[in-house]
Amino acid sequence: MLQIVGTAAGSAAMLHAMSVMGHAQGSTYSGPIKLDGAPEGTKVLVLGAGLAGLTAALELRAAGYEVEVLEFREKAGGRCWTLHSGDSYTELGGETQNVDFAEGNYLNPGPWRIPHYHHAILDYCRRLGVQLEPFIQKNYNTYLHRQDAFGGKPVRFKEIATDHRGHTSELLAKAVDQGKLDDMVTADDREALLESLKTVGVLNEKYEYVESLDTAYYRGYSKTPGGGLDAAPEPTAPIDLSTILDSRLWTWLATHESLNHQLTMFQPVGGMDQIARGFEREVGDLITYNAKVLSLQQDEDGVTVTWEDTGGGGQQTSTADYCVCTIPFSILGQIDHNLSGELSSVIDSMFYNGSVKWGLEFNRRFWEEDEHIYGGVSYTDLPITQISYPSTGYLSGGPAVLLGGYTWRGPNSFEFNAMTPQERLEVALEYGSRIHPQYRDEFKTGVSVSWHKVPWVLGCSGIWQDKDRDYEAAAKIDRRVVCAGEHISYLPAWQEGAILSSLDAITRLHDKIKNG
């Protein structure tokens, strides 16, 4: 049944049906947690002030615990991070990039969008007063591009989407009309299915997808409707099915239909780090910054953490009754600790996904002025994989920053990781100019972040070797220490996963403390 729904109405309808039937779930967050009865004088040490650590600090203090947070960086947020004009960033290996964007422009090197069904982070934004605005994920006027399709020229998303849907609807409708699917479709459903395919696929009375003003209404006109004399619109000719299939541009059509990318999506006004700043307003007094953890030790009496003040304060020691450790396993594995052998094995076996992002600032918003693209994402088989256009500042001229590339795992990330920042910029400009010829003439400045070179995490997100075997060992309380973060969730690389992992960890820790 789900296959028929997906074929007839698209993957979005199928996912909705799956959710209703319990096969696809959104966030498990059901509202603020309520911890009470914290034993007086009990102290919890939180390692790391990313979103998992900040959530733990906020909720544990509210429950009555004494809380101390140690953070390696000079600011909170972890991967919830934004590079603004005037910032500088030094990657592993010593290369420093100074961000000289125009005032107000920025790049989110890590998280850059929030799905509407990530209820926990949306609730914290509400509670912390973080203003959100729409993030434009899907834009029918953006491009799909492959080097070996259409002579290497980009094609509008709406053309491929409409023509692919129209041709496949025609094939299915004709098969149904000719009785070839009678063993799959009941007589009662046959006419309704045909009518739905005719509507969704923009088919004529003969169930054909052809050039017409009806199809042009979806895929675009060769001459758009106007006013006055000679204002009648003219249609465009659909791309034939064989050409579309050979182009493989259809591979990106379902990207926006996954639960994590369905509209509506959001972004904080002014950059993703506004969420971290919201937390800092509440628990900033608990955080010691520039604190590099050197050792994590526990015994029957408590937890002892040795750390270095990288600001010049020398070696320090913090003690507590319990610890919430949100340090990524890529870093925790390099720290001296006496965690159990089972947990240590999981820590040492986890490797981290590589990802690279570029923020490219241009003198004018040529994607709007020349190509009428307002937000959204263009996809390409070039190593940069995609270009995302800013969802704010429309019609403002410039300068403006677009996401000039975003790689996710695979050889492309490793290739860019081996480059210097300047080399990465040059490659992004070269590839991007194949989609937007204006790149070279309009380029102003840029910055890139390769996550395997980010010193405080050494990767973008955790990847399990054997999640079925190791997940429980990573999540359960190890005597007086419990770990949390996006890596201990089923929403890896999403801020929602970090927050949900933290809430689960501190709830179980609180129960253990209360009940002995």
What does the buried/exposed string (b/e) look like for 20-55 if buried means 16 or more CB atoms within 10 Å of the residue's CB? eeeeeeebebeeebebeebeeebbbbbbbbbbbbbb
Identical fold, 83-141+263-271+354-453 and 157-244: no
Structure confidence by residue, pLDDT tens digits, 121-139: 999 999 999 999 999 999 9
Tell me, what's the pLDDT at 409? 80
Rounded mean pLDDT of the chain?
Answer: 93
Q: Are 253 and 160 in contact (CB under 8 A)?
A: yes
pLDDT tens sequence across 283-300: 999 999 999 999 999 999
Residues 43-76+278-351+461-515, CATH architecture: 3-Layer(bba) Sandwich (3.50)
Confidence of residue 112 (pLDDT cuts 50, 70, 90): very high
Q: In this model, does residue 267 exceed pLDDT 60?
A: yes
**Where in the chain are the domains?**
43-76+278-351+461-515, 83-141+263-271+354-453, 157-244
Tokens of 500: 């949900």
Contact 26, 116 (CB under 8 A): no
User: According to the model, what pLDDT value does residue 488 have?
Assistant: 98
Q: How many CB atoms lie within 10 A of CB 375?
A: 20
Report CA 8 to chain centroid distance, whole Å.
29
pLDDT digits (tens, 9 = 90+) for 334-364: 999 999 999 999 999 999 999 999 999 999 9
Amino acid 26: pLDDT: 59
State how far the Cα of 388 lies from the Cα of 318, in Å rounded to an integer. Answer: 44
Nearest-angstrom CA–CA distance, 439 and 293: 43
Query: Which tokens hold the place of 150?
Result: 């259409």
Distance, CA of 252 to CA of 196 (rounded, Å): 24
Give the residue-averaged pLDDT of 398-405.
Answer: 97
The residue-averaged pLDDT of 16-37 equals 64
Give the model's confidence band at 21: pLDDT under 50 very low, under 70 low, under 90 confident, else very high.
very low
- Which pLDDT score is estimated for 1? 38
**pLDDT interval class at 33 (50, 70, 90):** very high
Distance of alpha carbon 229 from alpha carbon 227, whole angstroms: 7
Query: The tokens of 382 are what?
Result: 């070039």
**Looking at domain 83-141+263-271+354-453, which CATH architecture does it have?**
Alpha-Beta Complex (3.90)
Q: What is the pLDDT of residues 180-236, one digit of tens each?
A: 998 899 988 999 999 999 999 999 999 999 999 999 999 999 999 999 999 999 999
Answer whether 106's CB lies under 8 Å from 82's CB: yes
Cβ–Cβ under 8 Å, residues 332 and 53: no
Q: Residue 321: helix, strand or coil by DSSP?
A: coil
pLDDT digits (tens, 9 = 90+) for 460-492: 999 999 999 999 999 999 999 999 999 999 999
Reply yes or no on whether the pLDDT at 516 is more than 90. no
Instruction: State the pLDDT at residue 15.
Output: 35
Rounded to 5 degrees, φ, ψ at 308 are -105, 130
How much of the chain, in percent, has pLDDT values that exceed 70?
95
Q: What is the pLDDT of residues 314-326, one digit of tens each?
A: 999 999 999 999 9
pLDDT band at 31 (very low <50, low <70, confident <90, very high): confident
Work out the pLDDT band at 30, boundaries 50, 70, 90. Answer: confident
Q: What is the pLDDT of residue 257?
A: 87
The pLDDT value recorded for residue 122 is 97
Q: Is the pLDDT of residue 8 over 50?
A: no
CATH topology of domain 157-244: de novo design (two linked rop proteins) (1.20.1440)
Q: Which residues contact 75 (CB under 8 A, 6 or more apart)?
A: 273, 276, 280, 289
Residue type, 312: G
Query: Three-state SS for 394?
Result: coil
Quote the percentage of the chain above a pLDDT of 90.
Answer: 89
Per-residue model confidence (pLDDT) at position 262: 87
